[in-house]
Amino acid sequence: MINGVEIEFFKYQGAGNDFIIVNQLQVNPAIDWSRELVAKLCDRYFGIGADGFIIIQPAESADFHMLYYNSDGQVSTLCGNGSRCAVWFYYQNVRNTITNVRFTTNEGLFEGEVIDSELVKLKVLDLNDWKEKSDFYFLNTGSPHIVLFQSSIDQADMDEVGKRYRNQSPNGAAGSNVNLVQVGSENKIRTYERGVEGETLACGTGIIASALAKAIHKAYPVGTYIESFEAKGGRLQVYFNKTESGFEQIYLEGPAQEEFKGKVKI
């Protein structure tokens, strides 16, 4: 590792879910992105501050590879809002002649589309497997999620709910994100994210999981649907086809914005 190197970073957010992005598409110093370093950069008091950390890397079979870390410094699974921010970053800073982007993550190949200024749509993998428990649903939409339906969620203690349900899933000790959903004319959602170990303003894969869980919970017939969810950080939409065996053509659409950029010595 090269010590004392200065790197450029970008700060992006999607519906209040915020991320540090580092562009490593070109040759960069051999930086050891250790858990301690990433956690320090994501710290809101002693670092830049973010819910997650994204490295944009070269990919042989796609436009780029997205390596994602939780704010605790652990390499993690798919992040929906982080992916949308990465697509918007790529469009803004690397190749603004195309609006459709293909990128890889540790979970596979994904597609993103720039709809218009700061509005990005993400296509995720089909889903044909989930678990239904007595009081929650478990779905893996690129990241593992527990979904609980409640009549009111505004006064919920998300730290208490998150810690109580975090490990009560097939994902075991690795834990799951926990979503509280209030179904109505406007679906409302709050999410406790593992790795952050607290509530975030939005969670893309959590909103996808909640939309599909609602379709299961309400026994939607086979068809095409759009579900809109209001998170603390803003509104996002999920598009999907419900089939006899599960779900396909699943998309997450919402805002993605650059907040600022700078340089930091590590």
- The residues carrying an active-site annotation are 79, 203
Considering only CA atoms, which of 263, 262, 254, 229 is closest in space to residue 84? 254
- Residue 219 structure tokens: 């026994």
CB atoms < 10 A from the CB of 184, how many?
Answer: 10
User: Do 205 and 143 form a contact (C-beta atoms < 8 A)?
Assistant: yes
Distance CA 158, CA 180 (A): 8
Distance, in Å, from the CA atom of 57 to the CA atom of 54, rounded to the nearest integer, reads 10
Q: What is the phi/psi pair of residue 221, to 5°?
A: -75, 170
Measured at the CA of 103, the angle between CA 99 and CA 107, to 5 degrees, comes to 140
The span from the CA of 138 to the CA of 229, in Å, is: 18
Tokens of 215: 């379709």
